[in-house]
Structure 1
Amino acid sequence: MYHLILSKQADKTLRKLPRDLSRRIKEKLIQIAENPYAQHNNVTKLRERPGYRLRVGDWRIIYEVENEKLIIFVLKVGPRGEVYDE
């Protein structure tokens, strides 16, 4: 199982969300910790930059995987239209 590390932005966003949405996102994060590349989790490799995208309803989670150390860095959590902005 991979170890999850949340960025400051991702952690802050998760704390501000309504409980039910936050719970759904956390459940998905636990699933990707078991298999960060699972297609049934709606995971897609990003095209323009390194990393992956996990879809949870209208929300997106952007993360990178470091296989050697079994670490997943959760970089961003946000609504579909805003999460890809730099």
Structure 2
Amino acid sequence: MTEPSHEWQVQIHRTPEKVLKRLPKDLRERIWARILDLRTEPRPNDSKKLLGSQYDNLYRVRVGNWRISYAIENDQLIILILEIASRGGAYRNL
């Protein structure tokens, strides 16, 4: 689904920010590039809507074996990064 051509603001919770800082540089850069892409397309074609959490608008995108879980605040044009985790550890804290 294509959004209007305005840029969304990205906010990252402290925990995923710490995870991101500990990753190898090449992986960190790939994940960060994917997060920045969400500013112009918060619901890319390969995103999946996640069910059963406290957030109504919870999605995830993949970067290799890693998952970026995020909530979309439509009324404020904010993308809130909630989790960055490897496939095996994803979604446990949502």
Same topology, TM > 0.5 = yes
Consecutive aligned runs of 4 or more in structure 1 exceeding 6 Å deviation: none
Which of 22, 30, 38 does residue 16 from structure 1 map onto? 22
Q: Give the counterpart letter for 1:46 in structure 2.
A: L
TM-aligned CA deviation for residue 48 of structure 1? 2.0
Structure 2 spans left out of the alignment, 5+ residues: 1-6
Q: TM-score when scaled to structure 1?
A: 0.93
- Which residue of 1 is the match for residue 3 of structure 2? none
Structural RMSD (CA): 0.9
- Rounded Cα–Cα distance in structure 2 between residues aligned with 1:68 and 1:47: 20
- Rounded Cα–Cα distance in structure 2 between residues aligned with 1:82 and 1:19: 20
From the CA coordinates, give the structure whose radius of gyration is larger. 2
Structure 1 spans left out of the alignment, 5+ residues: none
Q: Give the counterpart letter for 2:35 in structure 1.
A: L
- Determine what percentage of the aligned residue pairs are the same residue: 35
- Rounded Cα–Cα distance in structure 2 between residues aligned with 1:33 and 1:48: 25
Q: TM-score when scaled to structure 2?
A: 0.85
**Aligned length, in residue pairs:** 84
TM alignment of 1:1-86, pairs within 5 A: 1-39=7-45, 42-49=46-53, 50=55, 51-86=58-93
